[in-house]
Amino acid sequence: MGRSIQLGRIFGIPFRLDYSWFLIFIFITVLLSYLYFPDSYPLWSPAYYWIVGIATSLLFFASVLTHELAHSLVGIRGGIPVKSITLFFFGGIAHIGKEASHPTTELKMAAAGPLCSIALAGLFYSISWLSSGFNEYVAGLTLWLAYINLILAAFNMIPGFPLDGGRVLRAIIWRVTGNYMRATRIATQAGYGVSYALIIGGILIFFGLGRELGLSGLSGLWFIFLAFFLNSATRMTYRQTTLRESLKGFTAQDVMARDFPRVPRHLTIRELAHGPLLTTSSQCFLVTDGERVAGILTPHQVKAVPRDHWDITTSGQAMTPVENLKIVRPTDGALSILERMGEENLDLVTVVSEGRIIGMILRDNLIRFAQRFHELKM
Ligand SMILES: [Zn+2]
């Protein structure tokens, strides 16, 4: 989440801007002020192209935000906590605390966004129509917004997961079959299908097959770009879904590692790297001070020490001291631990029972655990 800044709250939901948003904002503003408006309204004075262009850009992003708010508000009414909304490169994402537990909730939540965009398109079109006689600036601005909201609705309704249309598709299959994972798999296949279709379409358009429809060869590249974006979003969302599903029902003590090699705190990093680190597959060491555990050392931390300092740095200096460790209880849910590690950017948490360290959970191990469990189930 380090790539975004928080702007404020709407209906209590924090709303953030990804840095990539600034690029796309400039891109759209230039496109509008430099090409679209001068082309469509050649009689305006130059300053107005920029004023109207910037206003249109801002209202476009307000439209995207409204689309995400529609998802979020319907989700919240259905009992799904929405943690934040981030506007980025292509549009927006509402970060939800958990997935819908019922297909109807998912269906309503997924459909709310595109329906909202269609309503916005209608609203902007009406304003454009009403103002066309006496204010060409307002009419021009709202006409473009009407079109773009319609395109936004249409693009999002493509039935490929994780687009809204793909979520609608998943909800319907889920409702019919009663099987959430099967529905997710089918919607995911549809998502891949859409991205391959976009690539083939893009290549055909690139070689001139879209000319009759008014599509230039260059817009083929745009299709291909979109396809790669969708393809990676599909893969990522599917992985997250299986990860969450696999971890459901497990607690910290189910997934933690219990045995760790112990190393004394005075051991130098060179001694550690040439000895215990080579002979064990353990992802972590307990650094001891006599009988007491003083801290924890991971291979990541060892690598962070510059090589020419290996002889003068001890394990005790490189470790994370016990008092700085992030602690979870043995009965905490594995999924909520993974979410916490994601939010706080942690590689490792310590499982503590009655004041004693009983295990360790490394993020990589947790993900591997979920993957293995998922493979065994398939
Ligand atoms: Zn949406």
CATH number at residue 298: 3.10.580.10
Q: Are residues 150 and 37 in the same domain?
A: yes
Measured in Å, residue 225 CA sits from the centre of ligand 1 at: 19
Q: Are residues 146 and 259 in the same domain?
A: no
Alpha carbon distance 368, 254 (integer Å): 13
Measured in Å, residue 97 CA sits from the centre of ligand 1 at: 17
Total of domains in the chain: 3
Measured in Å, residue 86 CA sits from the centre of ligand 1 at: 12
Measured in Å, residue 68 CA sits from the centre of ligand 1 at: 6
Alpha carbon distance 126, 273 (integer Å): 71
Measured in Å, residue 114 CA sits from the centre of ligand 1 at: 6
Measured in Å, residue 342 CA sits from the centre of ligand 1 at: 23
Which of 215, 247, 279 marks a domain boundary? 247
Q: Are residues 133 and 166 in the same domain?
A: no
Measured in Å, residue 332 CA sits from the centre of ligand 1 at: 32
Q: Are residues 182 and 136 in the same domain?
A: no
Measured in Å, residue 72 CA sits from the centre of ligand 1 at: 10
Measured in Å, residue 64 CA sits from the centre of ligand 1 at: 9
Measured in Å, residue 273 CA sits from the centre of ligand 1 at: 50
> In DSSP terms, which residues pair with 356 in a beta bridge?
353
Measured in Å, residue 52 CA sits from the centre of ligand 1 at: 26
> In DSSP terms, which residues pair with 296 in a beta bridge?
286, 320
Measured in Å, residue 245 CA sits from the centre of ligand 1 at: 23
What pLDDT shows up at residue 112?
93
Measured in Å, residue 99 CA sits from the centre of ligand 1 at: 15
Measured in Å, residue 110 CA sits from the centre of ligand 1 at: 7
Quick one: tokens of 317?
A: 């200096």
Q: Which residues of 195-210 are buried (b: 16+ CB within 10 A; e: fewer)?
A: beebbebbeebbeeeb
Measured in Å, residue 156 CA sits from the centre of ligand 1 at: 6
Q: Are residues 35 and 123 in the same domain?
A: yes
Measured in Å, residue 121 CA sits from the centre of ligand 1 at: 15
Measured in Å, residue 142 CA sits from the centre of ligand 1 at: 21
Range of the domain at 315: 252-377
Q: Are residues 73 and 17 in the same domain?
A: yes
Which of 216, 247, 278 marks a domain boundary? 247
Q: Are residues 240 and 259 in the same domain?
A: no
Q: Are residues 306 and 273 in the same domain?
A: yes
Q: Are residues 151 and 195 in the same domain?
A: no
Alpha carbon distance 130, 186 (integer Å): 45
What pLDDT shows up at residue 89?
58
Is the distance from CB of 356 to CB of 292 less than 8 angstroms? no
Quick one: tokens of 89?
A: 């490169």
What pLDDT shows up at residue 230?
84
Which of 222, 247, 272 marks a domain boundary? 247
Peptide bond before residue 330 is cis, with ω within 30 degrees of 0: no
What pLDDT shows up at residue 1?
43
Measured in Å, residue 220 CA sits from the centre of ligand 1 at: 24
Measured in Å, residue 328 CA sits from the centre of ligand 1 at: 35
Q: Are residues 54 and 127 in the same domain?
A: yes
Q: Are residues 106 and 30 in the same domain?
A: yes
Is the distance from CB of 194 to CB of 158 less than 8 angstroms? yes
| Mean pLDDT of successive 10-residue stretches along the chain, which has 378 residues | 73 82 86 87 87 92 90 86 72 68 88 95 95 88 93 88 88 92 91 92 84 74 85 85 83 84 86 81 81 83 86 87 86 85 79 84 83 74
What pLDDT shows up at residue 162?
83
Alpha carbon distance 175, 104 (integer Å): 8
Q: Are residues 256 and 351 in the same domain?
A: yes
